[in-house]
Amino acid sequence: MDLSVDLNDKQLKAVKTTEGPVLVLAGAGSGKTRALTYRIAYLLNQGVDPYNILTLTFTNKAASDMKRKVKELIGKISTKMWMGTFHSVCVRIIGQNLEELGYEKGFVIYDQDESKALISDIILTFNLDTDKYDPKIVLNIINKAKMNMWNKRDLVNNFLKNEEGSQEYYKNIADIYIKYNEVLKENNAFDFNDLIAKTIELFDNNKEILEKYQSRFKYILIDEYQDTSPFQYKLASMLAKKHGNIFVVGDDYQSIYKFRGADMSNILNFNQDYPNCTTIKLEQNYRSKANIIEASNVLIAHNYQQFDKKAWTNKNSGEPLIICEAINEYSEADYVAEEIDNLVRFSGYNYNDIAILYRSNHQSRVLEEAFIRRRIPYHIVGGLGFYDRKEIKDIISYLKVAVNPQDTIAMKRIVNAPKRGIGAKTLDKLITHAQEYVPEFNLLSFAQEDNNLGLFDIMKDPSGVSGIGKATANKIKKFRRDLEDIITVKESRLSLPEQVDKILKVSGYQAMLELDGSETALNRLENLGEFLSLTENYYNKNQNRSLEDFVRDIKLLSDQDDINSSNQVKMMTVHSSKGLEYPIVFIVGLEEDNFPHYRSVKTGLLDEIEEERRLCYVAMTRAADRLFMSYARERQRYGETRSMAPSRFLDEIPVEYTLEKVHHRGL
């Protein structure tokens, strides 16, 4: 491994500065992943025990790519080295310390849909107006509270200070927050925010456990540091406190996840948190032609809250940026489709060399129509992914109940799949009965008595539940026996793929689709076949992984894990494009109130507009060879045709980097 050949001077410095805190400001396309992977390989070559290295990433894809590249550099990677997302690493820590947190083996992880379903149940239990207390909005508030580590009082005070709404409104949401945490605990479940928050709680309450992990992780490496949230920042700080060898890589120019809880001040203040840190700037761009880099440099220079750095490249200028003015969104979509046709037919590009980026998901519709007309193959990244399909969610819910029979959300999903004659109201009566004697919940300690009955327990004999007759009680008992059969499969000595296959059969779900025989049912059976293949692949990689591990791991997938390599144009939001690159990029819908988004414009706040500008910068720097940017003079919004003004970001790009504006009049 000849570092001087493979790395530039700044990358080499980042790799070899192994001791003490290091901040690497890595511009777009500057080879930050290369610096990270070479640093890991360098540490191992210097004799550092892989047991002492922790690498934290933001996507499973990033972690997999790093593992592959490190393996290429040094050969087999030791399983003693931890490398993964914040969430996956926290799952490992939690799994090793369940007893201290008061949880049992077989815990499950709730995704956003399952959390929303749980909140819907609680809103009904509290007899609150579901129009006023929309479960999605309530979940967003609760997520924000968890990411900022707020207690009940903090939630009320912070939202009253910064948002519209009455004190009563936020007090009720705070009560839902407490009850939500309580029911999660009863269900032996964590939501995504819990994975980090509970790890911090574990460390706060058990200094000897914290000391164990601090001693182990002598070298901590964190990718995309600008995207860390307050509690990710706290977790990293706790782990790095003993040895101080914390190496963070990021780009404040690409901080675009504030809505997910990211706090850009974490990277901006790193050298204040660690006064003796070494700061290294990676400014040479290896991805894009010079015109793209220079134009994006000028754009981002309009922001104030950022480090001083400037990307540069040895590449030639390349083609000028193309800016298209279309009469409406249909004309814009036709223009994009026409250009793609030309690029593929006459310029030697493939469809999978091309990405379409937009600010909001709804913008994909007219583009899809144009692509279908021209027979252009496409794939929507972050659309209805494999794991979002009904049949996949259903079978995962069966697996979750096999692992954790107290999971009421999974139970509600499968109770009538196949139909068993047990209505939603009946299940709600059982849940209410199960929760009736829950003791007062302590948010700090998550303390709970052991004598509470769960839904699964009550189903054994539901005759004492108010409002449930004998016939319904018998159906519930039968359902309970079916679940017992599924749990027996989980406890058997069958391999993981065999367990999943048998649960599909024992549950009656596979037979239900086979008896249906419709095209939809047959498609669902094909997807279940794909799920079995996925299970087999998972098992083949590590035959020691259990059904519990499998259920948890498939919950930790991100939008980018859905990106396929087939020859299709990729369509996605700019947020989903972060970390990706394509030879050709189209950025569509560059209009005021669209990009920048109207919510950011409406606030009038500098930091909101600056985040939108960073988002545009990210979109532009995905392009390697050519960049097309377009806007519409008119666009339908909420059923009305509105006149649109070009985005201010287009005005901020100097004319010397663009062609004279292209006008497209549509079909």
CATH number for the domain including 520?
A: 1.10.486.10
Residue 180 within a domain:
yes
Looking at the structure, tell me whether residues 214 and 316 fall in a common domain. Answer: no
Given a cut of 50, whether residue 446 has pLDDT beyond it is: no
Strand partners for 630: 324
Domain boundary (555, 579, 609) is at: 555
* Residue pair 227/58 in contact by the 8 Å Cβ criterion: yes
Please state the separation of Cα 491 from the chain's center in Å: 31
| CA pair distance 105, 188, nearest whole angstrom | 8
Torsions phi, psi for 323 (to 5 deg) = -115, 125
Of the candidates 223, 263, 294, 339, the residue annotated as catalytic is 223
Domain boundary (143, 158, 187) is at: 187
| CA pair distance 41, 463, nearest whole angstrom | 63
Domain boundary (252, 284, 316) is at: 284
Lowest-confidence range among 229-243, 440-454, 610-624?
440-454
Looking at the structure, tell me whether residues 508 and 446 fall in a common domain. Answer: yes
Given a cut of 90, whether residue 639 has pLDDT beyond it is: no
Report which of 249, 247, 246, 244 is spatially closest to residue 225, judged by C-alpha positions: 249
- Domain of 570 in residue numbering reads as 295-384+566-663
Residue 394 within a domain:
yes
Which pLDDT score, from 0 to 100, does residue 347 have?
Answer: 94
**What are the CA-CA distances from residue 26 to residues 56, 284, 285, 430, 616 (Å)?**
16, 9, 9, 54, 18
Looking at the structure, tell me whether residues 410 and 510 fall in a common domain. Answer: yes
* Residue 223 falls in the annotated catalytic set: yes
Residue 192 within a domain:
no
Given a cut of 90, whether residue 238 has pLDDT beyond it is: yes
Per-residue pLDDT of 23-75, as tens digits, reads 999 999 999 999 999 999 999 989 999 999 999 998 888 888 888 888 888 88
Written as one letter, the residue type at 41 is A
* Residue 254 falls in the annotated catalytic set: yes
Q: How confident is the model at residue 248 (pLDDT cuts 50, 70, 90)?
A: very high
Which pLDDT score, from 0 to 100, does residue 666 have?
Answer: 60
Of the candidates 622, 626, 635, 648, the residue annotated as catalytic is 622
Residue 1 within a domain:
no
| Percent with pLDDT over 90 in the chain | 55
Q: How confident is the model at residue 402 (pLDDT cuts 50, 70, 90)?
A: very high
* Residue 484 falls in the annotated catalytic set: no
Q: Is 31 annotated as a binding residue?
A: yes
Q: Extract the tokens encoding 598.
A: 């109207």
Q: Extract the tokens encoding 408.
A: 């009421």
Which pLDDT score, from 0 to 100, does residue 535 have?
Answer: 86
Q: Is 14 annotated as a binding residue?
A: no
Query: The domain spanning residue 256 has which CATH number?
Result: 3.40.50.300
What integer best gives the mean pLDDT of the chain? 88
| 217-231 mean pLDDT | 95
pTM (2 d.p.) = 0.80
* Residue 363 falls in the annotated catalytic set: no
Written as one letter, the residue type at 213 is Y
Given a cut of 80, whether residue 426 has pLDDT beyond it is: yes
Given a cut of 80, whether residue 142 has pLDDT beyond it is: yes
Given a cut of 70, whether residue 459 has pLDDT beyond it is: yes
More confident residue, 460 or 263: 263
| CA pair distance 50, 78, nearest whole angstrom | 6
Which pLDDT score, from 0 to 100, does residue 245 have?
Answer: 97
Given a cut of 90, whether residue 398 has pLDDT beyond it is: yes
Q: Extract the tokens encoding 238.
A: 């706790």
* Residue 543 falls in the annotated catalytic set: no
Q: How confident is the model at residue 408 (pLDDT cuts 50, 70, 90)?
A: confident
Q: Is 75 annotated as a binding residue?
A: no
Please state the separation of Cα 589 from the chain's center in Å: 24
Is residue 520 classed as helix, strand or coil in its secondary structure? helix
| 402-428 mean pLDDT | 85
Looking at the structure, tell me whether residues 594 and 645 fall in a common domain. Answer: yes
Residue 99 within a domain:
no
Please state the separation of Cα 161 from the chain's center in Å: 28
Looking at the structure, tell me whether residues 449 and 497 fall in a common domain. Answer: yes
Written as one letter, the residue type at 27 is G
Given a cut of 60, whether residue 437 has pLDDT beyond it is: no
If residue 171 lies in a helix (H) or strand (E), which one and from where to where? helix 167-186
| 226-230 mean pLDDT | 93
Q: Is 29 annotated as a binding residue?
A: yes
Per-residue pLDDT of 585-594, as tens digits, reads 999 999 999 9
Given a cut of 50, whether residue 645 has pLDDT beyond it is: yes
Of the candidates 6, 13, 17, 33, the residue annotated as catalytic is 33
More confident residue, 119 or 540: 119
Domain count, the chain: 4
Lowest-confidence range among 31-40, 54-63, 261-270, 386-395?
386-395
Q: How confident is the model at residue 464 (pLDDT cuts 50, 70, 90)?
A: confident
Residue 411 within a domain:
yes
Is residue 293 classed as helix, strand or coil in its secondary structure? helix
Q: Extract the tokens encoding 125.
A: 């239990």
Given a cut of 50, whether residue 444 has pLDDT beyond it is: no
Q: Is 33 annotated as a binding residue?
A: yes
Written as one letter, the residue type at 80 is K
Query: The domain spanning residue 157 has which CATH number?
Result: 1.10.10
Looking at the structure, tell me whether residues 83 and 141 fall in a common domain. Answer: no
Which pLDDT score, from 0 to 100, does residue 445 have?
Answer: 33
- Label residue 326 exposed, middle or buried (CB < 10 Å: 0-12, 13-18, 19+): buried
Most confident by average pLDDT, 135-149, 163-177, 215-229, 446-460? 215-229
Looking at the structure, tell me whether residues 443 and 581 fall in a common domain. Answer: no
Looking at the structure, tell me whether residues 310 and 366 fall in a common domain. Answer: yes
Looking at the structure, tell me whether residues 138 and 82 fall in a common domain. Answer: no
Q: Is 26 annotated as a binding residue?
A: yes
Residue 102 within a domain:
no
- What string of DSSP letters covers 174-227? HHHHHHHHHHHHHTTEEEHHHHHHHHHHHHHH-HHHHHHHHHH-SEEEESSGGG
Looking at the structure, tell me whether residues 344 and 459 fall in a common domain. Answer: no
Q: Is 623 annotated as a binding residue?
A: no
| 168-187 mean pLDDT | 92
Looking at the structure, tell me whether residues 409 and 476 fall in a common domain. Answer: yes
Which pLDDT score, from 0 to 100, does residue 667 have?
Answer: 53
Which pLDDT score, from 0 to 100, does residue 564 have?
Answer: 60
Looking at the structure, tell me whether residues 342 and 368 fall in a common domain. Answer: yes
Of the candidates 224, 394, 610, 612, the residue annotated as catalytic is 224
Per-residue pLDDT of 657-667, as tens digits, reads 887 667 776 65
Residue 308 within a domain:
yes
| CA pair distance 200, 210, nearest whole angstrom | 9
Which pLDDT score, from 0 to 100, does residue 605 have?
Answer: 86
Per-residue pLDDT of 477-527, as tens digits, reads 898 898 899 999 988 889 999 999 999 999 989 988 888 777 778 878 888
Q: Quick one: CA torsion of 415, 553, 117, 189, rounded to 10 degrees?
A: 90
Which pLDDT score, from 0 to 100, does residue 449 have?
Answer: 41
Given a cut of 70, whether residue 453 has pLDDT beyond it is: no
* Residue 96 falls in the annotated catalytic set: no
